[in-house]
Each structure stands twice: as C-alpha cells, then as structure tokens.
Amino acid sequence: MTKLLQLYREQGQSPWLDNLKRGYITSGELQQFVDRGIRGITSNPTIFAKAVEGAADYDDQFKSLVEQRTSVEDAYWDMVVDDIRNALRIMRPVYDDSGGEDGFVSVEVAASLARDTEATVTAARDLHERINQPNLYVKIPATAEGVPAVRQMVSEGRNINITLIFSLSRYDEIIEAYLSGLEAYDGDLSEVRSVASFFVSRVDTEVDRRLEAIGTDEALSLRGQAAVAQAKLAYQLFRQRFQGGRWEELEARGANLQRPLWASTSTKNPSYSDLLYVETLIGPDTVNTLPEQTIAALEDHGTIARTVDDGIHVAEGTFESLERVGIDMEDVARVLEEEGVAAFSKSFDELIGALEQKGAELSAQS
C-alpha cells in the first residue's frame, strides 16, 4: 500500500496533488497519481502560468484560438477550462466512490478580483456554470472582500475552496461564512461541499525572517515552529466550530463538514525536514495538498501516524512565546495575504504578456 493510500485509509486524511498541467492528462500520469492514492487536484494562477509557458502542449490550441481572433485573456481561460474539464473527468470516479467527499479539481477566480466582492461572486458563479460539473471547486481568496463572496456562493449551493488563509481570526470568519451560507441555502445541503485552505510553510518563512531580525536567543529558538503550531490550533478551531447545537441542526439537514486543507506544504527552508508540514499535520477530516517532490519524499521516507492534535499545549505555548518576543501573527498574516494576492496577480499578468507576444508572432506568420 502506498503512503498516499495509508493517509486516507488509516488516518482519514485526503492527499491531493498541488499541480495540474496538460501533459499530466494526455500522458496518463494524472491517472497514475490517482491509482497511487491522490484524491483531488488544486491549481492556481502560478501553477497554470508554469504549465502554459513551460511546454508546447498548449500551442496548437492557442494558435487555433488566435486564428479565430479570440482575445488572449479569453484564450487563456479556454485552455484552463479544457484542462479542468479533462481533470474532472479523470477524478470523477473518486468523487462518485467517496460519496462526493473527494475527487475535486479546483480552479481559481482571477487574482485581480481578490479585493472586489461582487466581481468575485460573478466570476465564481460564471466558472461554476461554464464548467457545470459536481466535482468542481472554485477557489476564492480569503481576503476581507472574499469572505462575503464565500457566504454568497455557499448560499447558492456552490462548492467553494477558500484559499490564502494565513490566520486563525480569518479562518474563523471563513467558517462563519460557510455556516451562515448553509443556513441561507434552501436546497439540499448534502450536495454542498467546501474546504478551507490554510497556508502553512509561508508562515514560517515570514515569522523566521522576523525572529532573525529580533536576534535574541529566545527568538531564534522559535524558528520553524510557528506554522505547525498555528495549523494545529486551526484544527482545534475547526473541531470547536463544527459541534454544538448550531452545527447539529445543519448536520441534520445533510450538511457536510468544511474540511481544513493544508496548503503550501513543501518545505522552503532546506535546513528543515522535507516533510515538516506533512508528518506533523496528519489527522481525520483534513486534506493535504502536495506538490510532486513532497509526494516523492513521503513515499520514500514518510511516517504515517495521527499527529494533528498532538502537542496542543505546546502549540499554545509557542504562540505565547512568539507574542512575548514581539511577533504579531495578525500582521504576519496581513503581509502574507498581500504577498499571495500580488504573486498570483503577477503570474497571471506575466503569462498574459507572454501569450500576447506569442499571439503576435503567430499572427505575423499567418
């Protein structure tokens, strides 16, 4: 049995692949990932930019679209939607076999909309209606403007993956948006699914930078601990919010848990374990979205055991120590959210620029 299968069958955690490119679909490699235990797929503007720019797999379709005088941005979305539809087809058996828990493929609204609630709602709705498959997740960033968009989409019965969550306070707002959205929906709650993507490794990158600037022995001793501690506390928050009378009423109507999804789980600091953000966050009713190199490391030397609710008092103590040495975790989250939105926007803009140049070259040749 692969480690990916162990995660799900023994620990109740769903491993998803944090990448999507056309070559995976056409070569059969995506199906091989599924056979090994991958249960879902996530994508974002940066992933698609690398896919489109890094291979010739899209050239024929792009050339055809340019010849039809399709705008470059519309051509981009046509190519993205085709990849998503084909990936959804491959993942559909997982969706069916799991009763709709897994087998999802995520596509993100344009990053430029992250500060515009109404535009985000319109874009998310359009993607759901355009693709129109039950195992589609549309990703909405967890900005202040994204929170009401999440509630609106859930209130319409749409499946939403909330991305770029960096703080416990914003995570709490996302849970509330999901619950209140379910309460407002007058349809079959059992058909509504959501995951909340809590970003992990980037937290250590930013906190470690600040700890090194502080430079005291106590501060330096806290490096590499903030991200896992925060994720463990997020899991506790998840357990607290999805119990009690309010949740029981929704559950009686068929509502599903909004599972925490651990995102950004590849280790950025080479001095840390390459599985730091995987082995420490294993537990039921969670998702971990993994890039290829992390999957390879997991299969090679990973340990599969329930860990997500181990050492909660240690995690609480870590947060107290971080505050004592001068780390403001809310400010860390604010910076990381701004950087995340900016990075996705930059990837999209650079890709559109590269496609415009390629389109001009193709037009000159015809």
Q: How confident is the model at residue 349 (pLDDT cuts 50, 70, 90)?
A: confident
State the catalytic residue, choosing from 21, 139, 232, 358.
139
pTM attached to this predicted model: 0.94
pLDDT at 155: 98
- What share of the chain has pLDDT > 70, as a percent? 99
Q: Identify whether the C-beta of residue 235 lies closer than 8 Å to the C-beta of residue 286.
A: yes
Q: How confident is the model at residue 43 (pLDDT cuts 50, 70, 90)?
A: confident
The answer to whether the Cα torsion of 318, 213, 338, 334 is positive or negative is: positive
Q: How confident is the model at residue 366 (pLDDT cuts 50, 70, 90)?
A: low
Burial level of 4, CB count in 10 A (0-12/13-18/19+)? buried
pLDDT at 359 over 80: no
Q: Which of 275-289, 309-323, 336-350 has the lowest mean pLDDT?
A: 336-350
Identify whether 139 is a catalytic site residue: yes
Mean pLDDT of the chain: 94
Q: How confident is the model at residue 198 (pLDDT cuts 50, 70, 90)?
A: very high
Per-residue pLDDT tens for 243-261? 999 999 999 999 999 999 9
Per-residue pLDDT tens for 44-100? 777 777 777 766 788 888 888 888 887 888 988 998 899 999 999 999 999 999 999
Per-residue pLDDT tens for 151-166? 999 999 999 999 999 9
pLDDT at 221: 97
pLDDT at 291: 94
Domains and CATH numbers, the chain: 3-356 (3.20.20.70)
pLDDT at 212: 98
Cross-strand pairs, 286: 13
Could you tell me how far CA 49 lies from the centroid of its own chain?
16
160-165 and 194-199 as β-strands: parallel, antiparallel, unpaired? parallel
pLDDT at 362 over 70: no
